[in-house]
Structures are given as C-alpha cells and as structure tokens.
Amino acid sequence: MMADMLDPGEVRFFAGSSNGPLAVDIAQLLGVPLDGVAVTKFSNDNLYIQLGGSVRSREVFIVQSLSPPVNDHLMELLMMLDIARGAGAKAVHAIIPYFSFARSDKKDAPRICITARLVADLLETAGATHVMTMVLHSPQVHGFFGVPTDPLASRQAFNRYFLACDLTGAVVIAPDLGHAKAAARFAKDLGLPVAAGNKERLSDTQVRVTSIVGPPLDAFRCAVVYDDEIATGGSVVELCDRLIQEGISDIRVACTHGVFVRNALARIAAIEQVKEIVTTDTVYMPPERRDPKLRVLSAAPIFADAIRRNYCRQSIGHLVACGDADSV
C-alpha cells in the first residue's frame, strides 16, 4: 500500500440519497468501494437507515449534499453519522458538497434562527468528527463548526474549463458587491477585468440591479457572470437583462452550486444572449432535466484529492477557499 493512498481495509465510504453519482466518482478516484446503505420509510414517514458494512475502528466517510428535499437529506445525514459513531467508528467525516444552510448566517430580524449554526451543532452532536464542504455562501459559517471543517474551493474546475474557452473581450461580473472579492480572484486567474452589480433584494425571488460598478461595459463583447449558487435565478436573470441593455451580446453564467429551483434553469437558458450555463455536480441534476446550454463540471477530483490528503496527514491549503465564501 502506497503511503499516499487510502487503505480499503481501514476506511468505509457511504452515500446518502442526495448525490449518489458524485459519491461513486469520489470513491472510484480514491480506489475504495462505495458500501451500500439501506434507506426506507415506515408508514408514518419515519426514516429507517442501515449502513451496509462494519465501521468499527475505521475511518468513515459519508457523502450527502443538503439539496432539495433539504430537510429529508439532513435527517438522513444525521442518522448516518449517529449510526457510525454508535457502531464504534474511529473517525466520522461528513462530506457535504452543498451546505445549503450557509445562507442562514445571521440574525437580521427578530425571533429567527441562525440555522447554519444550529445545523453545525447538530452535525457535531450526531457524531461528525470532521466536515468537508465546498464554497460556503458566507465565510463566517466556517466559524460555526466546533469540529475541524474544510470549505473547499471549486476554482480548479472552473479555471480549467474557462481557460480553454475563447474569452477575448470578456469581463467577469459579480452579481452583487458582496461577491466582488471572489469575482476579482476568479478574474485574476483568467487574466480578465472585473465588475459587480449593485443589487437590491426585494424578496426571495425578486432583486433589482440598479447599476454596474467597474469599467464601462461598452468596451466588452462578453461577460462571465460568476456566482456561488443559483437557486431561483432571480439575481442572474436581472443581471443578464442589465448586461443586455449595456450592449453585451455573449453571456456565460458560472456557479458552483446549481440548485435551479422554480424553473430557474429554463428561465436563464431562454435568454438568447446566454450562451452557456456552467456549474458543478455538488447538486445532482438528472440528465432529463438538463438544458442543452448546461455544462456540469465534476467536483469529484477536488474532493478526492482533499480526502486523500487529509487521510495521509498532508496539507490541503491549496484546495481550501481562502476567506471569501464563493471562491471558484
């Protein structure tokens, strides 16, 4: 057994029901089997879960994205963590490619829950000794966890893809000023200028882009709209409308987490000037729901490299998002 490889006899790799294909890809890259998990529901809607392999004194890795239905997938994950801990696992690693609760990071109204902190506490209580995720929506969420937590960057996947594209005359656009720092880092990697939308959120689904901060857009023919996640697509659609008004005729949309609820993917793809929508597979989308404009990049190599390095006690500093929530 090579020193920098996982020992299949010492690890157990499981997946919840949210993103099995990504878990399969990670396990294959690591050279370990993906053990089975029995997930059923009783007549009263209670979950029944059984891990399909002994975990005693082993390193256990559980892959589960917190994608819709979020609460069901969270409960699955908590139960799997508790099972592994109760069955004598040496360490329990929660691999959460998409941590959706990161959006609930502050108390901005009376009598509400900072859900990201609550869920972080629940993961630790359930038995997680280590958490690995990708591109947290808010950087402060990292500090909510009481166990070692690695928020990985998706930069490698996006850089590799976009550096192979013809981006002559392009500018990187952040959807709002809060994402400007991350967009600036992404733009620097691509050797492009950067701008940001001045956005006002009206509701969960409605936003208004009042202006674009940065160089005059009439100097560019192409824009790469860069976001950490797209859910309803309201921000992206509004920003694209503004870019079209400014004369941009070639728009590429990039986001780490393509949640795409409420027909968001179809709404964005229907914009003629949007040439492609690029995301990763942290949120699983079945092939029949994908639009021809959608490009899905694999996050498996990044997770596999981080897991292997963590297992072999090697640094993963170059894989971790450095201070900004949505470092691609």
Tell me which residues are annotated as active site: 199
Paired residues of 225 in beta bridges: 173, 253
Render 77-126 in DSSP notation, one character per residue: HHHHHHHHHHTT-SEEEEEES--GGGG--S--STT---HHHHHHHHHHHH
Nearest in space to 51 (alpha carbons), one of 82, 18, 91, 20: 82
Element (H, E) at 237: helix 234-245
> Can you say how many angstroms the Cα of residue 134 is from the centroid of all Cα atoms in its chain?
5
**CA-CA distances (angstroms) from residue 42 to 39, 47, 49, 147, 277?**
10, 6, 11, 33, 40
3-state helix, strand, coil in the chain (%, to 5): 35, 25, 40
> Can you say how many angstroms the Cα of residue 110 is from the centroid of all Cα atoms in its chain?
29
Q: Which two tokens stand for residue 212?
A: 């674009």
Paired residues of 40 in beta bridges: 48
Q: Which two tokens stand for residue 291?
A: 């639009």
